[in-house]
Chains A and B, each alone.
Chain A
Amino acid sequence: MAETAAPPATRALRLGVAGPVGTGKSSLIATLCRALADELELGVVTNDIYTDEDARFLRSEGVLDPDRIRAVETGACPHTAIRDDVTPNLIAVETLEADVAAGGAPLDVVLVESGGDNLTATFSPALVDAQLFVLDVAGGGDVARKGGPGIARADLLVVNKTDLAPYVGVDVERMVADAEAARDGRPVLALSRTAPDAVARLAEWVRTQLGAHRAGTHTPVDPGPMAPHSHADGTDHGHGHGHGHGHGHDEAHEHPHAH
């Protein structure tokens, strides 16, 4: 049965990458593939506005076997494709997993890249097990403060392109602090693909998610729709600020955020 609510623990971890257009989702995926391709079997499904722009970028980066990068059409509805009707994406993910498994080495992680949409687009838990949301400093230091479901409740928030901060007049520490305040302790990672330490923390976060997925201790969290959001006990969950990895799924148990 296609019962997505209780996936078999043996299949790949499905990891969504969402965030506004131009924040560096494709580049982040290429970076992750470079960092992890030697130790994990990786696949990618892209959801670009025009079929395969992102897929072509990733293939041209040479970080994965081109057959492990699949593109899905979204009918100009990238938001729908990852949220309201995940059918084409789910077929693409399952087909990719089956094709690679037939070659003898099943995938460990499938990265699903959303079409760059807007601040309100998040993945359905029927499609991915965990998701990260990508902002960048060049989009403005105030974006993290604006909030939204992805910023507030994705499993990981990435503040990308920190190397550009001096050129766009953004205070990275302030932007990360704003994001942490909006996330009630969930992890925030300041990232630049040219900063090896940050890339290592991102890779470690993925390993941690994969470990929890395999152990059956990971519970997908739905960032849910744009809605007022508060915790009476918010001060109980301020631990972990600045770690940037590792405890997203623990938070999930404490804050199920059922929609």
Chain B
Amino acid sequence: MKVIALIAVIMTGTLLIYGTGEMPDWGDPNSPANSYVSPRYIQEATEKTATPNIVTAVLADYRGYDTMGETVVVFTAALGCILILRKKRNGEGG
């Protein structure tokens, strides 16, 4: 069983390492991820949101609703932990 797992993992890793041949070089300023959307954020974020930290500007201004949804995710996880771990009283179902 462990041999099958090892073979599957090594096959996955080999395929992924084969795929890195098409990836951009490390630290390339002209890679696709760095050249289409992000320059606009870097140039306009401070002007539009008055926040020097661009990560904060994107997190709390551009994606404010997403961050609010994240708090819902954390709240739901905490609620789930409480519901899973609570001690049930005698005679009560669920």
Do A and B share a complex?
no
Please report B residues at the A interface, Cβ cutoff 8 Å. Answer: none
